[in-house]
Chains A and B, each alone.
Chain A
Amino acid sequence: MPPMDPMRSAHAKLLAGDFLSLAASPSAAPSFSRRGRPVSRAEAAGIVVSYDRRPKLLRFLLDDGSGCIPCVLWLNHHFLPQSPAFSSRENIAAAASAADVHAGKVRLGELVRVRGRVTGFRGVLQITVKDVLVERDPNAETLHWLQCLKLARDCYDLPPPPAPARRA
């Protein structure tokens, strides 16, 4: 079995242009990769340039100058059948409340940072958002860009690290 690539479980910090270039594998459970390395979670920062809130979800677009990343934040916790992820009604209520708080932060023109899973919808890559952070410092965006460039050069562009040698 091939070694687990640490990129698979990390939130990859990607510029929109880089994110939108991820390769999608055509399978029933789609997976995404960058230069052959798996990317399942992503972190992005940008300005909210559109949003559409509905009872069950919030859709919005993040523009970082290199592209617009479609984001979706689900607000449907109360509509779902009991999931193994939620052990009780209180957990569902807490998750729904947290999603509602995150959705309230998304406003037109706001600089936000999002983290979540990389997913696809109707042939378009998107982030299924887990959390939203409003950036008050305008330099946070510049710092994010520099981190994206450095991580690409020093980590994401490199082959995965070899698995640790097993002891006999």
Chain B
Amino acid sequence: MASSVIKPGILVSLQELDSSSPLFKEGQSVRATGKLESYSVESGMAVIIDGGATLLIDTQHLRDISFRPGSIYQFIGELHISQDSQAVLEARIGRNVDGIDLNLYHQTIQLRRKFEADLAKTKAA
């Protein structure tokens, strides 16, 4: 059967979003999670950090969300890559996920990838 128009936000860790990653491309939909390092009310730009890697988030399309540095947030949106290979996630969804077990979350993402790869193999067979 056909699929919906909105693309799912692929689950990624911030460390994976470097220029060598296949997900590091213009318009790629991702779901990124990290601790809010900074937020500018004027520009609507936020920076999240996880595992030593950071990601710039454009929050101008988000409503009904308050930002507290030190809290953990999750964003779904599309990546935009500048000419100097700087990625900005233009968020269409944002939510506070304080209390999330990030170690378990990242381990589960790895298990899911293996499961989804097996599922794709089964479908292709």
Contacts and interface: CB of A to CB of B under 8 A. Distances in A.
23 contacts: A15-B115, A18-B119, A47-B31, A47-B93, A49-B9, A50-B6, A63-B6, A63-B9, A63-B93, A65-B10, A66-B112, A67-B3, A68-B7, A109-B65, A110-B95, A111-B95, A123-B1, A124-B1, A139-B101, A142-B105, A145-B112, A149-B111, A152-B115
A124 B76 CA distance: 23
Which 3 residue pairs are nearest across A and B when measured between Cβ atoms? A138-B97, A65-B11, A138-B100
B116 A68 contact: no
B121 interface: no
A39 interface: no
A66 B92 CA distance: 17
Nearest to A20: B3
B34 interface: no
Interface of A: 15-18, 20-21, 24, 35, 47, 49-50, 61, 63-68, 70, 108-111, 120, 122-125, 137-139, 142, 145-146, 149, 152
Contacts of B11: 65
Interface of B: 1-4, 6-11, 31, 64-65, 74, 76, 92-95, 97-101, 104-105, 108, 111-112, 115-116, 119, 122-123
Contacts of A47: 31, 76, 93, 95
Given A21-B119, A108-B93, A124-B4, A138 B112 contact: no
Contact of B112 (A15, A109, A123): A15
A43 B118 CA distance: 21
A123 B93 contact: no
Given A66-B8, A152-B115, A142 B108 contact: yes
A36 to B, nearest CB: 12
